[in-house]
Structure 1
Amino acid sequence: MAQMHQPATGSTCPGCAEPLESGDLYCGACGYDLSAGPAAGVDTPTVVMGSPVAGEAWPAARADGSGAPVHLPTDLPGTDSGGSPLPSHVRVDGPEAASEPDEYPLPAPDPRAVDLAGLGEQATHVTTPVKVCVACRAGRVDEDGYCENCGHAQPRERDHMERELGPVAAVSDRGLRHHRNEDAFAVSTTALPDGSPAVVAIVCDGVSSATRPDDASAAAAARANESLLQALPQGTHPQQAMHEAIVAAAEAVNSLAAEPAPAVEHDPHRHQNAPACTLVGAIAAGGLLVVGWVGDSRAYWVPDDRTTPPARLTEDDSWAAQMVAAGLMSEADAYADERAHAITGWLGADAYELDPHTASFKPDRSGVVVVCTDGLWNYAEGAEEMAGAVPVDAAERPLHSAQVLVGHALDGGGHDNVTVAVVPFAVPVPGAGSAYN
């Protein structure tokens, strides 16, 4: 079991836990006002421990060499390969046993401009934009992204991101306690060979104890999405395509380990973990709902008809899940433990063995899939709790629903980065059949 990294000894910033030097008035990492007192609450970032369980061999996608979809066998351990009806309460098999690049382009601040060199009326309308602090609204922002007046760190491009693409949408937010957003997502739509639509959502959570977790999550989300957009139009079975996408995402994260760590992260006195992240994804295509994951990011099924039960579709690769699976602790006790968020599976060069989990279902009614990081499910852990937080019109307003869910996490404390994608699933028209019967 790998040791979790501990913060540097001595005084640390109450906002982001970065080490402080004697006499600091503001945190050099996040701009926290040290005179304001410690931040309330306890942060629970994703950390790494242990080793993932070896995965099962995957059958060939198209054994006959053609582009026709292959019907996967129904006896793959840890999967529901046959696309069976979604039960009322699903728990897919999980484990057998139970200083970073911190500068991003700033968003456009106050559009006000100033007269150059005090030229007054002699100026020929030559102006330059002034970056005004979002905190004090008075000081200018220097080249490093800090206010010259109050020292406050300015918002970065990834602090809050939203994306809506047809029927799918996602929102990601830095949260209220972290000094940067280490989550990432990708949403997309494409078409199967028969012309029917396929909707994709990928959500990744950077491992905070690793080097460059923000880069890891961004690389994994982008590569997994790219892989799916290549495979699905060619007729690859969605479950096979998801497996291949997770493998491709892992390779993208692994490649980051070969790159030298930025100077801002280099500390000769502490071990540098390789970049790492978790991943969860969902595909709605051809009458099937397919999910895939590594780590503790989750997918939930929420039916449009709220009189029928919702379900959690993934099982965490985590210490807590192992304790529950082994019968050593109740679920409530395990997830209340401080070790609950220690993950046993992740994408990264120091993962002992990649073990992608995939499952496919055939829901008999319409609904939405909520694909999210633990920054959300910490505040709506059970399927019923998650369903209660999802707006009833989620299928018609996916972006609004994602915004509401992020707001739910922020209202609950926002201790972590929060990312959620909402993927509507519509039952195929009667008589139309399914591409993957």
Structure 2
Amino acid sequence: MTADTHRLSACPGCAEPVEPADLYCGACGLNLASAAVPEADTPTVALRTRDDAPPAAAAPGRTGARPSADGGAEPTTDGYVLQPPAPRAADPRASVAAPAAPRGADGKACVACRAGRVDGDGYCENCGHAQPRERDHMEQESGPVAAVSDRGLRHHRNEDAFALATASLPDGTPVSVAVVCDGVSSATRPDEASAAASRTAADTLREALPRGTHPQTAMHEAILAAARAVDALAGEPAGAREHAAQQNAPACTLVSAVVADGLLVVGWVGDSRAYWVPDDRSAPARLTEDDSWAAQMVAAGLMSEAQAYADERAHAITGWLGADAYELEPHTASFKPDRPGVVVVCTDGLWNYAEAAEQMAEILPADAAARPLHSARVLVGHALDGGGHDNVTVALVPFPGPGTGAGSG
């Protein structure tokens, strides 16, 4: 097969730019080879299906570390690099995204063949092609807080999740909450784990704070509740498709931020992070410490930071939510910033492209506090422009929250 597979510069289905060597549109999954007018002597190309994909990485042993939540900076073990899901290879539980072009009153037209009807599981009844899913790209605003999550450019599904909430303290002071989770790709049903953890943690915080529970105590309780929600998934019966992989329990990382009455509280397990970026960009800081192999080596004085993060084991996580986690140790910390700013809560799909706090401050728009949703989109775009090797999720929480002071320092 030559590099000149087709001569399209944009996808006929969704108008997204495509490269000459692309077999499928990365946005909608359209088969570009069939959409383009082939040369007279173009040979038939056998596409690799899931059955032909290389075997997944072996399940990690109980050494106290898992592979990184995304499976590495450039995941290749699932056989989906730069390829759309093969028919019936995608998760049938995922819901269909926004409607494609309507096909009469019956339902939706397939994004691949444009002729078949999409069934309730999200597959074309004509060609069997998996349709875009709702979680491929998600955006939400809740009061002053906003979040954006994207599948990225190399994963076949989005295993990140987020949940936003607003509440009030007993005296009526408003509270802003953001929770971001990253599913562990080497585990079973990582997308369900991240969704359950983020939803449960946000709900727990929303219920605890109005009762007068101190935000840091509420954060600790929320992480424990999220862990129980993920643990419960391991006890649910799995379908035959997943039965063989059940030895790796559902798992995810979690990071959360609460802004309440001049107080900033963060909580985390794993390697998802929270950053503090003042409006004046003075002294930005990372607020969390990774539960990872590299961080442990540096903390123990066994390696320099440069040496540790250059090692292939650097991103293996040593803490996560899941039934096979050793001993859950939720981390919480509270701060009283003396100036306004924004808390960036994100997965490694973003911070891999802006790891240092100064780098995060540089790419965050100056008006992030006033336009959090727009700014979250900008940060996700930065990750995609950098290669989009992983799912990317970011939530922005302005500080101080509405109706509060800036803190006493």
TM over 0.5, shorter chain: yes
Instruction: Indicate yes or no: 2:282 matched with 1:304.
Output: no
Per mean C-alpha deviation after superposition, the further-off stretch among 140-149 and 339-348 is 140-149
Instruction: Indicate yes or no: 2:95 matched with 1:105.
Output: yes
Q: CA deviation at 1:297?
A: 0.3
Higher relative contact order by CA 8 Å / sep ≥ 6: 1 or 2?
1
TM-score for both structures, normalised by structure 2: 0.76
Partner of 1:256: 233
The C-alpha deviation readout for 1:211-243, integer Å capped at 9, x for no partner, is 111111111111101110111001111001100
Per mean C-alpha deviation after superposition, the further-off stretch among 182-191 and 140-149 is 140-149
Partner of 2:172: 195
Partner of 2:49: 27
Counterpart selection for 1:220 from 197, 206, 218: 197
Counterpart selection for 1:423 from 359, 384, 397: 397
Determine the C-alpha separation between the residues in 2 that align with 1:130 and 1:229: 37
Contact 2:109–2:115, Cα closer than 8 Å, also in 1: no
SS of residue in 2 equivalent to 1:342: coil
SS of residue in 2 equivalent to 1:421: strand
Contact 2:263–2:334, Cα closer than 8 Å, also in 1: yes
SS of residue in 1 equivalent to 2:288: coil
Determine the C-alpha separation between the residues in 2 that align with 1:235 and 1:359: 18
Determine the C-alpha separation between the residues in 2 that align with 1:141 and 1:428: 44
Determine the C-alpha separation between the residues in 2 that align with 1:224 and 1:354: 15
Contact 2:181–2:347, Cα closer than 8 Å, also in 1: yes
Partner of 1:131: 109
Determine the C-alpha separation between the residues in 2 that align with 1:278 and 1:47: 17
TM-score for both structures, normalised by structure 1: 0.71
Contact 1:297–1:374, Cα closer than 8 Å, also in 2: yes
The C-alpha deviation readout for 1:335-370, integer Å capped at 9, x for no partner, is 232212210011111111110000000000000000
Partner of 2:252: 277
Structure 2 CA distance for partners of 1:313 and 1:220, relative to 1, 3 Å: same
Q: CA deviation at 1:28?
A: 4.3
Question: What code does the residue aligned with 2:294 have?
Answer: A
Structure 2 CA distance for partners of 1:211 and 1:278, relative to 1, 3 Å: same
Query: What is the correspondence of 1:335-374 to structure 2 with a 5 Å cutoff?
Result: 335-374=309-348
Q: CA deviation at 1:272?
A: 1.9
Contact 1:47–1:208, Cα closer than 8 Å, also in 2: no
Determine the C-alpha separation between the residues in 2 that align with 1:207 and 1:103: 18
Q: CA deviation at 1:325?
A: 1.2
Determine the C-alpha separation between the residues in 2 that align with 1:251 and 1:390: 34
Partner of 1:5: none
Partner of 2:184: 207
Contact 2:188–2:246, Cα closer than 8 Å, also in 1: no
Determine the C-alpha separation between the residues in 2 that align with 1:131 and 1:274: 36
Partner of 1:164: 141
Q: Identity of counterpart residues, as a percentage?
A: 72
Query: What is the correspondence of 1:281-300 to structure 2 with a 5 Å cutoff?
Result: 281-300=256-275
Q: CA deviation at 1:428?
A: 9.1
Determine the C-alpha separation between the residues in 2 that align with 1:303 and 1:169: 17
Determine the C-alpha separation between the residues in 2 that align with 1:316 and 1:175: 22
Instruction: Indicate yes or no: 2:266 matched with 1:266.
Output: no
Question: What code does the residue aligned with 2:100 have?
Answer: D
Question: What code does the residue aligned with 2:182 have?
Answer: D
Question: What code does the residue aligned with 1:109 have?
Answer: P
Question: What code does the residue aligned with 1:232 have?
Answer: L
The C-alpha deviation readout for 1:228-274, integer Å capped at 9, x for no partner, is 0111001111001100100111111111111122222122xx66211
Determine the C-alpha separation between the residues in 2 that align with 1:244 and 1:210: 24
Q: CA deviation at 1:147?
A: 4.7
Q: CA deviation at 1:138?
A: 5.5
Question: What code does the residue aligned with 1:51 have?
Answer: G
Higher alpha-carbon Rg = 1
Determine the C-alpha separation between the residues in 1 that align with 2:101 and 2:156: 25
Contact 2:338–2:406, Cα closer than 8 Å, also in 1: no
SS of residue in 2 equivalent to 1:259: coil
Counterpart selection for 1:388 from 354, 358, 362: 362
Gaps of 5+ in 1: 1-14, 16-22, 39-43, 53-98, 115-126
Structure 2 CA distance for partners of 1:148 and 1:28, relative to 1, 3 Å: farther
Counterpart selection for 2:216 from 223, 239, 254: 239
Query: What is the correspondence of 1:145-160 to structure 2 with a 5 Å cutoff?
Result: 145-147=122-124, 152-160=129-137
Q: CA deviation at 1:424?
A: 0.2
SS of residue in 2 equivalent to 1:164: strand
Structure 2 CA distance for partners of 1:384 and 1:138, relative to 1, 3 Å: farther
Q: CA deviation at 1:331?
A: 1.9
Per mean C-alpha deviation after superposition, the further-off stretch among 271-280 and 332-341 is 332-341
Number of matched residues?
341
Q: CA deviation at 1:149?
A: 6.9
Contact 1:211–1:261, Cα closer than 8 Å, also in 2: no
Q: CA deviation at 1:205?
A: 0.6
Determine the C-alpha separation between the residues in 2 that align with 1:143 and 1:346: 33
The C-alpha deviation readout for 1:283-318, integer Å capped at 9, x for no partner, is 000110000000000000011002x12000000000
Question: What code does the residue aligned with 2:146 have?
Answer: A
Contact 1:205–1:373, Cα closer than 8 Å, also in 2: yes
SS of residue in 2 equivalent to 1:239: helix
Q: CA deviation at 1:112?
A: 2.7
Determine the C-alpha separation between the residues in 1 that align with 2:406 and 2:100: 54
